[in-house]
Structure 1
Amino acid sequence: MDSRTEPADSASESTSEPEPPDAATPSAASHDAAARPRPHAQARPDTRPDDTAARPPLLRELLLVVGLFVVYKAGRLPATGRTDEAFADAHSVWGWERSLRLPDEGSVQTALLHSDTLVHLANTYYATVHFPATAAFLVWLYLRRPAHYVWARRILALVTAAALAGHLAFPLAPPRLLAETGLVDTGQVYGPTVYGAHPAADALANQFAAMPSLHFGWALMVAIGLITATRSRLRALWLLHPLLTLLVIVGTANHYWLDAIVATALLCVALAVVHPPHRTATTPGRRHGHEPAAIPVRDLPELVGAGR
């Protein structure tokens, strides 16, 4: 009886023997690998500036811009009555341009006079685009690129202040008033015009403030500001605005070539003094909330039970 039960007991003992503790199953190994934290590439810090902090108070900016405009308009008027000096300077500028072999302003006006409609459009552009375009530029920067707004406003203030000093120190009659140029006053002949028929008696505008040309200086700053503040591949097309402005102010005989050259020089000095803000994550090309995610570094596959 005892001899029959011994083999069964020994078989029971052999089948219940536990497995070695170091023989891990594949499922346990993969669970451990999944639970182990994986290294990640260092996430980029959020460099977006606080646009609200960068944007100046609206009321203060409105008062500042309006105040600068009023000072500029009022500051130009004292040069209105300096007729003899303005025409003497105009003769000098006309002679300087011929000495420098600059193109004749008449060539641009001749092309313009081929069509009454074209002349009317040029006069309208001169009279209506200058201030609204600059104002729209500043408003857009204030709302969308506050840091660039502060930079652009400072540039425009410097250029305008320098231009005001130039208008007072060097009164200059425009080429449309200088008989020896042979140019037509397109504003008076074809309309519309923002100037009175008698420059010396014009109380609304100083017609002897030709140099430098703020029409061109502001237009060039608008283009440079938009090119700097945006990342569109087509942003260079903004240069068409100052180019068209240049053709208009020369073709309508409101400015000499040298007026635009001096305005460009003043703008270059202002740009050298006041630097634009650095590009950040808020500059177009990256949308808010779409920062590049951290890229995980994959682990090498583990060899389960290797060498065992």
Structure 2
Amino acid sequence: MNARTEPGKAEPVSPARPPIARELLLVAGLFLVYKFGRQLATGHTAEAFRNAHDVWHAERWLRLPGEGAVQSLLLHGDTLTEAANTYYAAVHFPATLAFLVWLYLRRPAHYVWARRVLAALTAAALVLHLAFPLAPPRMLAATGLVDTARVYGPSVYGPPHSDHLSNQFAAMPSLHFGWALMVAIGLIVATRSRWRWLWLLHPLLTLLVIVGTANHYWLDALVAGALLGIVVAVVRAPRRRAVTSAGRVVARGVPVPAAADERVFTRAGAGR
């Protein structure tokens, strides 16, 4: 038996799932760091409003479309506005959690990659939140925008001076958009369905919601997308398995035994 056929030399067909207890602790820790890290940026109200004016004027200098163009579409009806507020409040964390759970159960290797990307993106975002506190457009009178959550509900924020559960001056970058974009990218990379590109509708809808509800500027989303691009370039996704002309599955250049071929194709078909 040579090195190409010896079982101990070949990589496993399906990577083992990380221990679930450890993963629960890691994900819970990521969430706590996200929440408590944002609190460190509180107490910079004056600086946050100065930065908000700078961002607003920078967008006009860059000739970006006004956020009011999106909000005006929402304000045509109370139902649409309430739906956007609900999406902002209720989809962010559950969608990301469902994404991680699905990857953990069905694509373990992609789960580890996605968890690392989300952790790195969140850490980078927290650094920017500390370095560049930013009041959202709903607080800036110069924008002329309506705080749709306060007027129409539901709202996840209280008055800034008494809201001790969140930092409302951590608008840039938008993790709402960054996480939504990662969910779409992760599902596109991890699946092979011809319809997988439709997952991009999630970050697109999230972008329209965060801008239309006046919770974020366009630049908040652009910076989040740029940070995610850097992280994804550094934290490489797992390779796809290729099929040779003989119908053998090759995992990173190592031929998988025929019995394993069948299991891979069975799982691949079930996962579409």
Residues 1:101 and 1:287: Cα distance change in structure 2 (over 3 Å)? farther
Alignment of 1:183-222 (within 5 A): 183-196=145-158, 198-222=159-183
Partner of 1:257: 218
Residues 1:275 and 1:189: Cα distance change in structure 2 (over 3 Å)? same
| Helix, strand or coil at the partner of 1:277 | coil
Residue of structure 2 aligned with 1:65, choices 27, 40, 45: 27
* Offset of residue 98 of structure 1: 0.3
2:117–2:232 CA contact under 8 A, matched in 1: yes
Partner of 1:233: 194
**Pairing 1:100–2:58 present:** no
Normalising by structure 1, report the TM-score. 0.76
Residues 1:289 and 1:83: Cα distance change in structure 2 (over 3 Å)? closer
Q: Distance in 1 between matches of 2:48 and 2:114?
A: 31
**Pairing 1:267–2:267 present:** no
Residue of structure 1 aligned with 2:263, choices 268, 275, 288: 288
- Choose 1 or 2 for highest CA Rg: 1
2:121–2:231 CA contact under 8 A, matched in 1: yes
Equivalent pairs, count? 243
Q: Distance in 1 between matches of 2:12 and 2:227?
A: 31
Deviations 1:204-253 (A, max 9, x none): 11000000000000000000000000000000000000000000000000
**Pairing 1:141–2:116 present:** no
Residues 1:89 and 1:143: Cα distance change in structure 2 (over 3 Å)? same
Q: Distance in 1 between matches of 2:52 and 2:110?
A: 37
* Offset of residue 121 of structure 1: 0.2
| Helix, strand or coil at the partner of 1:54 | coil
* Offset of residue 80 of structure 1: 1.9
| Helix, strand or coil at the partner of 2:161 | helix
Q: Distance in 1 between matches of 2:57 and 2:40?
A: 26
Deviations 1:8-57 (A, max 9, x none): xxxxxxxxxxxxxxxxxxxxxxxxxxxxxxxxxxxxx9x88343x53110
1:49–1:282 CA contact under 8 A, matched in 2: no
* Offset of residue 200 of structure 1: 2.9
1:282–1:288 CA contact under 8 A, matched in 2: no
RMSD between superposed Cα atoms in Å: 2.0
Deviations 1:140-184 (A, max 9, x none): 000000000000000000000000000011000000000010000
Normalising by structure 2, report the TM-score. 0.85
* Offset of residue 202 of structure 1: 1.1
Runs of 4 or more, structure 1, over 4 Å off, are: none
- Aligned residues with identical type, % of pairs: 72
Alignment of 1:171-186 (within 5 A): 171-186=133-148
**Pairing 1:49–2:12 present:** yes
2:134–2:170 CA contact under 8 A, matched in 1: yes
Partner of 1:115: 77
* Offset of residue 289 of structure 1: 6.0
Deviations 1:107-142 (A, max 9, x none): 000011001000000000000000000000000000
Residue of structure 1 aligned with 2:203, choices 216, 224, 242: 242
| Helix, strand or coil at the partner of 2:122 | helix
Partner of 1:27: none
1:80–1:200 CA contact under 8 A, matched in 2: no
Residues 1:121 and 1:282: Cα distance change in structure 2 (over 3 Å)? farther
Residue of structure 1 aligned with 2:92, choices 121, 130, 143: 130
Q: Which runs of 5+ in 2 are unaligned?
A: 1-6, 242-248, 252-260, 267-272
